[in-house]
Amino acid sequence: MQFIDQAKVYIKAGDGGRGCVSFRREKFVPKGGPNGGDGGRGGHILFKATGNITTLLDIKYQQQYRAEKGQHGMGRDMHGKDGKDLIIPVPLGTLIRDFETNEVLCDLTEENQEFLAVKGGRGGLGNAHFKSATRQAPRFAQPGEPGEELTLSLELKLLADVGLIGLPNSGKSTLISALSSARPKIADYPFTTLVPNLGVVTYGEFRSFVIADIPGLIEGAHTGTGLGFQFLRHVERTSVLLHLVDISEMAEGDPADNLEKINKELELFSPDLMKKPQAIAGTKLDIKGDGKRLDTLAQYCNDKQYDFFPICSVTGEGIKELMIYLGGKVGQHKKK
């Protein structure tokens, strides 16, 4: 399935049914009167959050939604049937904006949370409503009101507790596969991860948190360079950011410089990201070589007061300590 996290959609609520012009005509009833019924209300359009879907794919390829119209009123004071409401399911974490003004209308973050986007038009009154002492045979009724319409932009921001960030090939996919049952593509070349991956990490008894693997960032990502920029929105909701830095003997560049480049891109994308708790994981410990890169990164983290964890996702070294640490940080954030 394609991962689609942005979509534009036009929605139109149902029009109200028109009122009826009708008169009572029955045998042996010498004086009939107006008995036109009211039109039915047009259907509303609602968005409903569900954990059963994880992408905006359906909305991307069906960009128009129209609710059912209200039925017209009928004689004998019969009310027209209301139009059926249209409920559009969206993934948890969907942000809904007005396309024209960019105003945030709703943020759907809870299971079964609903948002009434547009209301159906009111049905028109039948001529029975307009009878009076001076107007006993009204020959008119109200038309139904048109339903509301809007063009919306939908943006999906994944609901994860921990966001994995780092340069391409820094070991993010390998780590999430080691921590959870997620099985992202893993290969020995950059940009293996093309879409965000989610995994549920279980630690301790009845405790867990959600971790998100974001495609690798490179310098200039905030301007659209590489793949990571378009997915950075998915770490905006996280409680903790975990930087993965390659400390193997084959890695390029100074590890501390690589870490600073990523933080610079985060700050340029959104200064709020730099306010989140951060921890650093030195990856590929099993091929650290002479250990100089490990020592450089450890000293840098000590100077900057970052929590640092040397790990190896393949052998499991340092993984348990990292899981307990992340779980504690997530728990602290949820208590606030």
Task: For residue range 66-112, list pLDDT tens digits in order.
Answer: 999 999 999 989 999 999 999 999 988 899 999 999 999 999 999 99
| Mean pLDDT, residues 18-36 | 84
Strands 64-66 and 94-98: unpaired
Q: At the fourth CATH level, which superfamily is domain 6-156? A: GTP1/OBG domain (2.70.210.12)
Rounded Cα distance, 18 and 39, in Å:
5
- Lowest-confidence segment of 22-31, 57-66, 156-165, 292-301 by average pLDDT: 22-31
CA geometry: angle 13, 17, 18, nearest 5 deg: 140
Query: Rounded to the nearest 5°, which phi and psi values hold at 255?
Result: -60, -35
| Mean pLDDT, residues 269-273 | 84
Given this model, what pLDDT does residue 219 score? 55
Work out the pLDDT band at 39, boundaries 50, 70, 90: very high
In this predicted structure, the answer to whether residue 190 has a pLDDT above a threshold of 50 is no
154 vs 214, higher pLDDT: 154
Cβ–Cβ < 8 Å for 270, 236: yes
Rounded Cα distance, 317 and 169, in Å:
19
Residues of the chain with CATH 2.70.210.12: 6-156
Strands 94-98 and 104-108: antiparallel
- Lowest-confidence segment of 7-21, 124-138, 160-174 by average pLDDT: 160-174
In this predicted structure, the answer to whether residue 26 has a pLDDT above a threshold of 80 is no
In this predicted structure, the answer to whether residue 38 has a pLDDT above a threshold of 70 is yes
DSSP assignments along 135-196, one per residue: -SS----PPPPPPPEEEEEEEE----SEEEEESTTSSHHHHHHHHSS------SSTT---S-
Work out the pLDDT band at 222, boundaries 50, 70, 90: very low
In this predicted structure, the answer to whether residue 227 has a pLDDT above a threshold of 70 is no
- Lowest-confidence segment of 102-111, 141-150, 206-215, 237-246 by average pLDDT: 206-215
Given this model, what pLDDT does residue 195 score? 62
pTM of the full structure: 0.72
Work out the pLDDT band at 216, boundaries 50, 70, 90: low
Q: At the fourth CATH level, which superfamily is domain 162-335? A: P-loop containing nucleotide triphosphate hydrolases (3.40.50.300)
In this predicted structure, the answer to whether residue 27 has a pLDDT above a threshold of 90 is no
Instruction: Please list, in sequence order, all residues whose beta carbon lies within 8 angstroms of the beta carbon of residue 260, skipping any fewer than 6 positions away.
Output: none
Rounded Cα distance, 63 and 23, in Å:
44
Given this model, what pLDDT does residue 1 score? 42
> What is the pLDDT of the chain when averaged over all its residues?
84
Given this model, what pLDDT does residue 253 score? 87
Work out the pLDDT band at 30, boundaries 50, 70, 90: low
Check the CA dihedral 298-302-304-306 and report its sign: positive
What would the two tokens of residue 240 be? Answer: 């903790």
2 vs 130, higher pLDDT: 130
Given this model, what pLDDT does residue 212 score? 80
| Mean pLDDT, residues 216-238 | 60
User: Strands, E, within the chain: which ranges?
Assistant: 6-12, 45-50, 64-66, 86-91, 94-98, 104-108, 114-118, 149-156, 162-166, 197-202, 208-213, 240-246, 278-283, 307-310
Rounded Cα distance, 45 and 33, in Å:
38
Given this model, what pLDDT does residue 217 score? 63
Rounded Cα distance, 48 and 323, in Å:
33
Residues of the chain with CATH 3.40.50.300: 162-335
Given this model, what pLDDT does residue 74 score? 93
